[in-house]
Chains A and B, each alone.
Chain A
Amino acid sequence: MPDTAATAPPADERLARVNLVATLVGRPDIGAVFGAIAVFFLFAYTASSVGWLSDLGIWSQWLDQSAQYGIVAVPVALLMIGGEFDLSAGVMVGSSGLLLGLLTTRADWNIWPAIAVVLVFGAAIGFVNGYTVVKTKLPSFIVTLGTFFILQGVNAGGTLKITGTVSIQGIDAASGFNSARPFFASTVWSPYDFKVNIIWWFGLTVAGAWLLARTRFGNWIYAVGGDATAARNIGVPVARTKIALFMMTSTTSALLGIITAIGLRGIQANEGVGREFIFIIAAVVGGCLLTGGFGSVIGSAFGAAILGMASIGIIVSQWDSNWVYAFQGVILVLAVMLNAAIRARAAGARAR
C-alpha cells in the first residue's frame, strides 16, 4: 500500500517514534499476513512428502478452497467494518444455486437470464436483511440468524417438494451453459487446473480494498461501523450505507452460488450451510474488529488463504479431516488475541 509511511514532507520531530515497524504493526492485516506465511510453512513441513511446495496441483486445490471462502469474505469484511454481521451469507450460496437450478431445469430458462435473476434475488435478500436491521434496530446477528433459518428450511423443504430429492441436478443441460461455464467454472493451466474462481477472488479483493480505502463509500463504511450516531450527525447516510453493505454481501453469496452450481452442474439443498462462520472467521483473522469501524479487505483474503490451506493441508498431511474444525477454532482464537495485542500496541505507540 502506498500509504502512511513516507508522506509527511515537513518532518516533525515528534514523529520520529513512529518508525517502519510501528507503521506495519498498526496495519490491521499484518497478523493475517504473518499467519498465512506460518501456516504455509507448517504444511510445507508436514506435507513435504506429497510436495506441498513443489506440486502446483496442490496449490490449485488450496487456492480453489481459499477462493470459495475468500470471495464472500470480502463483503463480509466490509459489512463487519460497517458494524454488522450476516449469518445468512452461507445459506444464501445454497439458495442461489438452487434458484439457478430451478430456473434452468424446471422452467427451462437460458442460463444467462437465470444468472441475472439469481443476482437480483441475492440483492433482494440483502435488502430485506439490511432494511429490517435499520428499521427495527435489532442486532443484525439476530435478524440474519432468522434469515439463515428461514432460507435453510426453504432450501431443504422446497427442494424436496419440487424434485423429490435433496438436490437439483442437470444444470448443464440448460441452454447457454457452455457459454457461461468459462466465466464461472473453467480451469486454466492444464495439468494443474487452476479454477477461475481464484480470479474472481483476487478481483473482488482488489475491488473491495479499493472501495474501502479510496472512495467516499469506503469512508462511510468506517464511519457507520465506528460510530453510527456521530456519522449520522455529520450527514453520512447511515441507513443507506448499511443496506448497501448487506446487499453486497448477499449478492456476492449469490455469485458464489452460481459459481458452485455451474461448477458441479447441480447443487445440494444444504450447500453453503456453515460457511457463514468461515467467512466471518476469515474476516476476523484478517483484522476486522467485531465491534466495527476497523479492519481490512486484504486481510480477509489472507484469512481465507489460511483457512483454505488448512482444509487442504490437513488432508494431504494425512491427518483425520475432522481436525480441520479444531484447527479453524485455534486459528480464530489466536488471531483475535494477536490482533487485540497489535491494536493495543499500535494505539499505545500513537497515543499521546
Chain B
Amino acid sequence: MSEQKPHLLEARGLCKYYGNVVALKDISAYVNAGEVTCVLGDNGAGKSSFIKILSGAHPPSEGELLVDGEAVHFSSPRDARAMGIATVYQDLAMVPLMSIWRNFFLGAEPTTGVWPLRMFDVKKARAVVRSELRGMGIDIRDPDQPVGTLSGGERQSVAIARAIYFGARVLILDEPTSALGVKQAGVVLRYILMARERGVAVIFITHNPHHAYPVGDRFVILNRGRTLGSYDRGEIDQTELVRLMAGGAELAELEHELATIKAEIGSPGD
C-alpha cells in the first residue's frame, strides 16, 4: 500500500523469548508521522515486552526494527531517544518528590556557564515548562509543585509534553489511561490527538478498546504474544474491536456464564 515511502517506525517479525517462555511471536506493526497506531491486548498479551523492544530497553530475540526504512539496533533507551523515539512509561519516569520543572528536564538539563561553574539553567527550565505546558493546554498551578502532588492525568500530560518538547518523532505511550478516571482519561486522549496533529507518530498501548477506537488510525491486537489481527480504521468497527480484544469465543462464553449467574440470583432491580 505505502511501499513508496518507508514507515517512520516499523517492527517486522519480532520475537522475544525469556528462557523457554515465548513472550512475543512474530509481531509486525508500523506507524507513520501524524498517525496513531493502537496496540491492544489483555494482561499478559505481550504488550510490555513489545514496548521494551520498541523503546530500546530490551533487544528482540528475532526480527528487526526499522526507522525510516533502515534497520536499527538499539542497545539502550538512550539510543532510541537519539532517533526521536520517546517512551512514556506507565510509571512515567518521573520522580514524585521532585518539582515539575526538575522532572521535565531530568537527564537533559539545559546548562549555562563554563565548566567548573556550569549551572543548571533554572530560569530557563521554569520558563520553558510554563510555556510548553500552556502550549499543550495544560494548566499547571505552579512549576515548583512536586510531581507527586499532581493528579494522574496531569502527570501523564506533563510526561507527554516533555517527550514532545524533546523532539520525539515517535511517542510510545504505555497504558496512559489505564489508571485514570473517565474524565482524566478523556484529557489524556485529547493530548494524544494533539500530538498527532503536530505530526508526531503515536504508538498507543492499551487494554481498553473504548479508549483506542476514538483516537486510533490503526489497531494491532495482541493475544498471548501473537498478533490476532491488524486493521486500519475503516476496516473494523468498535464492537468488533471489543469482541476481538476480549478474544471472541472467550467473551461469548463469559456472557453465557454471567447470564446463568444472573438467572440464578435474579437480575438487579427486580
Contact = CB atoms under 8 A, between A and B. Distances in A.
Contact of A352 (B92, B122, B149): B149
A222 B106 CA distance: 10
A8 B106 CA distance: 22
Nearest to A348: B149
Given A4-B144, A222-B98, A235 B108 contact: yes
A14 interface: yes
A227 B107 contact: no
A320 interface: no
Nearest to B87: A233
A218 B81 CA distance: 23
Interface string A204-230: 000000000011101110110011011
A15 interface: yes
Contacts of A219: 98, 102, 105-106, 109, 120
Bin chain A's interface residue count.
20 to 34
Contacts of B91: 229-230, 233
B98 A351 contact: no
A214 B78 CA distance: 24
Contact of A234 (B57, B93, B148): B93
A293 interface: yes
A15 B142 contact: yes
Given A8-B142, A294-B97, A214 B108 contact: no
Contacts of A235: 77-78, 81, 107-108
B97 A230 contact: no
A350 interface: yes
A220 B120 CA distance: 11
Interface in A294-352: 294, 347, 350-352
Please classify the interface of chain B as helix (H, G, I), strand (E, B), loop, or mixed, using the class held by over half of its residues: loop
B152 to A, nearest CB: 13
A227 B89 CA distance: 14
B115 to A, nearest CB: 11
B146 interface: yes
A289 B148 CA distance: 16
Interface in B143-162: 144-146, 148-149
Contacts of A8: 142
Given A214-B120, A222-B102, A236-B106, A293 B149 contact: no
Contacts of B5: none
Contacts of A294: 97
Contacts of B126: 7
B107 A234 contact: yes
A222 B97 contact: yes
A297 to B, nearest CB: 15
Given A222-B95, A230-B94, 5 more contacts: A214-B122, A229-B91, A230-B92, A233-B57, A235-B107
Task: List the 7 closest A-B pairs by CB distance, nearest first.
Answer: A226-B95, A235-B107, A233-B93, A234-B93, A216-B109, A351-B149, A293-B97
24 contacts: A12-B141, A12-B142, A18-B142, A214-B122, A215-B120, A216-B111, A218-B120, A219-B105, A222-B97, A223-B102, A227-B94, A230-B94, A231-B93, A231-B95, A231-B107, A233-B89, A233-B93, A235-B107, A235-B108, A293-B97, A293-B98, A347-B149, A350-B146, A350-B149
